[in-house]
């Protein structure tokens, strides 16, 4: 009897081990393990299989497998405000002691008073003034050091952790899955190129030369015998909306076969991607998960947002053109790496 | 005696075979076989060995092995005029029937009359007018087709072959040698990005996303339901002189560790490259071979040229900073693939 029990115990243990091990292997084998099963996940897998299958009429040579990703709201949160705006506001506060005139001058006064209403009233012109005051007037090397330091110290107001720890886990899995299948992954963001480059390799596995974004003008100067690139208070290029296909053409020179966005700012990038021939994948991250992240926009029956607007017209175009809308709430098992 | 002769013949034959075979193997093993032995070739090999040797303090990780190449005069001829200027002049002539006003209007009249003196008198302003008239007003796809067609049909006036057949063989070998050693090779040229991209992959093995150059503005439009990028008659960015480090920073976002040029337009790119820490390679192709290609410039005791100017000050800076000057005449066994 004892030996019988022992045999039974061993069998149960063996079964348990094999189940646990089997599940682990399964999880390891699933490159999209943070995605719930369903049509959204299937769309990604089907597309990748099509374009990588040499016997498929939809086969695409590796060199042409370009995938472009918006950043804010697509790869990491854009709420309660764009991360770069949070950086700009922190910089204005840090620089304020050297600018006593800001105490009475808008939009700087609004920043120093934490007066979001006055800040909103300053509009786009005000935003440009804040960006110029916080992003220009130093060398590119100095700016990189400032951004790196800020990313290390700043914390997201709700999630209480570094912004660089808030990349969406399911999107990190798509990035890795595409690269494993011969894709070159690019960021194509309205954000500043030099604000993103210090972190994209570490956070997304995307090297600096694959980051397309907005730029300010820089000027080559020789200072004390050393060449530097100085950042000027002048906008060079805005990589948003109709600027995204322009940026893609200018920096990459190939049309993507896959594009990922989350707002009206990504519409033209998805249109441009979809207008090429052959198999294409266009996806929009839809923020409908107030509990784990954020929910907004008319398609949720909620007010829209300034930080990643998703109008009903975008939802309509997505449906009409076969763009896949990702429900954060329903399609994602987890939002971040650990929850 | 006969068998003696036969043995001798066999021996001689064996020796000949082994010599030929040995030479072939040697040639195959030498990635820079079109370079004469000497300090110039040695500088390239020593640099590559240093930065790729994991035990060397000068070791550079593959991701940071960026090499940038000017195009005109560095990878292919820039005489008797820049290839892109030859293209512009041909386009003006092709478009002339639709522009009867050009018969009397400079700088177009000069082009139609083949009046190089009047053309030179039109100066930079005239050049911009010619570029705008020949490079704008169509979609990016249309322009690519026009350039591809021209490159197929046009012939170099002296060498009587396609421009794409005139890449410098020794430079093709450097490009391949660097790539085999984990480098990413980029073009950084004053020429137009979209004029170069149709040919860089085929000619240099450099994909479109690794071509940095001058750009004109483009505009995203939806025409008959199809998105297009229209080329506007407005200069966006000039990637020359102090613009080269700016372009490198904007498009690549890393400082090169090797840079190759041939004229004053490359000076700042070489300075920027050389100002980084660690081992660096800066090279200038010097045109001193009138017989096989062209010779010009004060350092040759000859008049300078507008198409790739090489002033004495550049030669002085090269000597002072340890930039390697490549003598086409002395360092290159052949200029093109076959002579």
Q: What is the DSSP string of B67-91?
A: EEE--BTTTB---SS-HHHHHHHHH
Q: Which of B215, B227, B271 sits opposite A272 (nearest CB)?
A: B227
Enumerate the residues of chain B whose CB falls inside 8 A of the CB of residue A268. Answer: 220, 227
Burial class (CB in 10 A: 0-12, 13-18, 19+), B284: buried
For residues B122-148, give the mean pLDDT: 94
pLDDT of amino acid B33: 97
Angle between helices A123-135 and A83-95 (to 10 degrees): 60
For residues B86-115, give the mean pLDDT: 96
Strand boundaries in chain A, DSSP class E:
66-69, 184-192, 211-223, 226-237, 258-261, 281-286, 324-327
pLDDT of amino acid B338: 86
Scanning every residue of chain A, which has its alpha carbon at the shortest distance from the alpha carbon of B207?
A63
DSSP secondary-structure letter at A181? T
Enumerate the residues of chain A whose CB falls inside 8 A of the CB of residue B254. Answer: 208-209
For residues A285-314, give the mean pLDDT: 91
- Tokens 């000017």 locate to B70
pLDDT per residue as tens digits for the range A191-210: 999 999 999 999 999 999 99
3-class SS of residue A186: strand
Give the containing element (helix H, strand E) for B226.
strand B226-237
DSSP secondary-structure letter at A324? E
Please list, in sequence order, all residues whose beta carbon lies within 8 angstroms of the beta carbon of residue B153, skipping any fewer than 6 positions away: none
User: Does the pLDDT value for residue A295 go beyond 80?
Assistant: yes
User: Does the pLDDT value for residue B45 go beyond 80?
Assistant: yes
For residues B281-304, give the mean pLDDT: 93
Mean pLDDT of chain B: 93
Task: State phi, psi for A301 to the nearest 5 degrees.
Answer: 70, 25
Work out the percent of chain A whose per-residue pLDDT is above 70.
92
- For residue B171, the Cα-to-chain-centroid distance in whole angstroms is 8
User: Does the pLDDT value for residue B6 go beyond 90?
Assistant: no
CB B237 within 8 A of CB B212: no
* Alpha-carbon span B211 to A58, nearest angstrom: 27
Q: Which of residues 200-229 of A touch B (CB under 8 A)?
A: 207-209, 211, 215, 218-220, 222, 226-227, 229
* Alpha-carbon span A245 to A243, nearest angstrom: 6
Enumerate the residues of chain B whose CB falls inside 8 A of the CB of residue A220. Answer: 242-243, 245-246, 268, 272
User: Does the pLDDT value for residue B12 go beyond 70?
Assistant: no
End-to-end CA gap in chain A = 46
For residues B180-198, give the mean pLDDT: 98
pLDDT per residue as tens digits for the range A245-290: 999 999 999 999 999 999 999 999 999 999 999 999 999 999 999 9
pLDDT of amino acid B111: 96
State whether ipTM is beyond 0.95: no
User: Does the pLDDT value for residue A303 go beyond 90?
Assistant: no
Q: How confident is the model at residue B58 (pLDDT cuts 50, 70, 90)?
A: very high
User: How many CB atoms within 10 Å of residue B299?
Assistant: 18
* Contact pairs from chain A to chain B, CB under 8 Å: 79
Nearest CA-CA partner of A231 in A199, A193, A198: A193
Nearest CA-CA partner of B233 in B217, B214, B219: B217
CB distance B227–A207 less than 8 Å?
no
For residues A51-77, give the mean pLDDT: 97
Between B219 and A10, name the one with better pLDDT: B219
3-class SS of residue A317: helix
């Amino acid at each position: 009897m004892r030996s019988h029990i022992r045999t039974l115990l061993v069998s149960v243990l063996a079964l348990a081990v094999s189940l646990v091990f089997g599940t682990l292997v399964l999880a390891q084998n699933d490159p999209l393990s943070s995605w719930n099963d369903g049509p959204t996940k299937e769309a990604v897998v089907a597309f990748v299989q099509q374009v990588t299958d040499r016997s498929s009429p939809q086969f695409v040579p590796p060199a042409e497998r370009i995938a472009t990703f918006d950043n804010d709201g697509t790869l990491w949160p854009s709420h309660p405000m764009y991360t770069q705006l949070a950086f700009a506001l922190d910089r204005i506060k840090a620089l304020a002691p050297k600018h006593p005139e800001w105490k009475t001058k808008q939009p700087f006064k609004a920043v120093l008073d934490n007066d979001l209403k006055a800040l909103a009233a300053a509009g786009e012109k005000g935003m440009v003034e804040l960006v110029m005051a916080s992003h220009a007037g130093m060398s590119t090397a100095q700016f990189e050091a400032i951004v790196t330091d800020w990313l290390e110290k700043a914390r997201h107001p709700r999630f209480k952790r570094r912004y660089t720890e808030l990349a969406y886990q399911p999107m990190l899995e798509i990035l890795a899955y595409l690269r494993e299948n011969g894709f070159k992954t690019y960021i194509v963001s309205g954000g500043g190129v030099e604000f993103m480059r210090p972190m994209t390799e570490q956070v997304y596995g995307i090297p600096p030369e694959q980051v397309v974004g907005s730029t300010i003008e820089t000027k080559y100067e020789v200072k004390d015998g050393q060449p530097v690139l100085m950042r000027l208070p002048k906008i060079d290029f805005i990589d948003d909306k109709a600027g995204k296909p322009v940026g893609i053409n200018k920096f990459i020179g190939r049309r993507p076969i896959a594009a990922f966005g989350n707002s009206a700012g990504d519409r033209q990038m998805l249109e441009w991607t979809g207008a090429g021939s052959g198999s294409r994948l266009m996806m929009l991250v839809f923020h409908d998960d107030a509990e784990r992240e954020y929910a907004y926009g008319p398609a949720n029956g909620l007010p829209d947002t300034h930080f990643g607007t998703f109008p009903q017209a975008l939802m309509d175009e997505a449906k009409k053109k076969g763009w896949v809308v990702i429900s954060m709430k329903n399609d994602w098992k987890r939002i971040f790496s650990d929850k």
